[in-house]
Amino acid sequence: MKVNGLLVYRCQKSSEPKCPFLVTSEKINKLTTASTIDIISLKDIHLRFEDKRKLPRGIGLEVNVSDLRRAEGKQLGRWIADIPSFYAYCKHTGLQFILSSGATSICEMISGRSFDSLLKTCEIDPTSYWNDLDVWLQSRIMKRRIIFA
């Protein structure tokens, strides 16, 4: 992720590095009111009621496209059909929807045009999605009060 031309690093726990960072987790049950977690990476976008109640306002919910690489056609179609309602849920509840490539190597990266096409296929306006994501990133970085030279 980038903000103002700077890289934003992802880490599993807050170690207060001297660069912009976001704390990620795959476990919703680790969330507390004093939690420093910024992003929850989801394997399944169908959240249980108990999990929905634990999500603090302003947190990011990340969905990885890489999880779909090995999906069957029916599973892929269901995912594409379910993303618009999940996006609407995130907007309604004050959560940030994050669509990520989930890349672990340069070969798995996805181009910006491909992201925009996927967003359009999922009935999400790419311009508003990227603007919302930028505003959210700025607010999360400012929340940490990191000053860069």
User: How confident is the model at residue 130, as a pLDDT?
Assistant: 93
Task: Between 45 and 146, name the one with better pLDDT.
Answer: 45
**Residues 91/92/93/99 CA torsion (nearest 10 deg):** -20
pLDDT of the residue at 2: 43
Asked if pLDDT for residue 128 goes beyond 90, the answer is yes
Quick check: is 115 in a domain?
yes
Does 75 score more than 70 pLDDT? yes
Give the least confident one: 18-32, 60-74, 78-92, 132-146. 18-32
Alpha-carbon span 53 to 47, nearest angstrom: 10
80 located within any domain = yes
Q: What CATH number has the domain bearing residue 45?
A: 3.20.20.140
131 by Cβ neighbours in 10 Å (0-12 / 13-18 / 19+) ranks as exposed
What total number of domains does the chain contain?
Answer: 1
In a domain? residue 23: no
Task: Identify the domain containing residue 69 by its residue range.
Answer: 29-136
Q: Across the chain, what does the average pLDDT equal?
A: 78
Residue 64 included in any domain? yes
Give the Cα-Cα-Cα angle 91, 57, 45 (nearest 5 degrees).
55
Contact by Cβ (8 Å): 6, 19: yes
Beta-carbon count within 10 A of 14 CB? 14
Tokens representing 110 are 């996805």
Query: How far from 115 is each of 45, 66, 112, 128, CA to CA, in Å?
Result: 18, 12, 5, 13
Position 36 in a domain: yes
| % of the chain surpassing 90 pLDDT | 16
Look at 92 and 52; give whichever has higher pLDDT: 92
| Listed residue (91, 88, 79, 96) closest to 45, CA to CA | 79
Q: Which residues contact 50 (CB under 8 A, 6 or more apart)?
A: none
* 49 located within any domain: yes
Model pLDDT, residue 149: 45
Within-domain flag for 12 = no
In this structure, the chain runs to a length of: 149
Q: pLDDT category, 3, cuts 50, 70, 90?
A: very low
How many other C-beta atoms are found inside a 10 Å radius of the C-beta of residue 32?
10
pTM passes above 0.85: no
Q: What is the pLDDT of residues 7-58, one digit of tens each?
A: 555 656 655 555 666 777 777 766 665 567 787 778 877 777 667 777 878 8
- For residue 143, being part of any structural domain is answered with no
Cβ pair 49, 93 in contact under 8 A: no
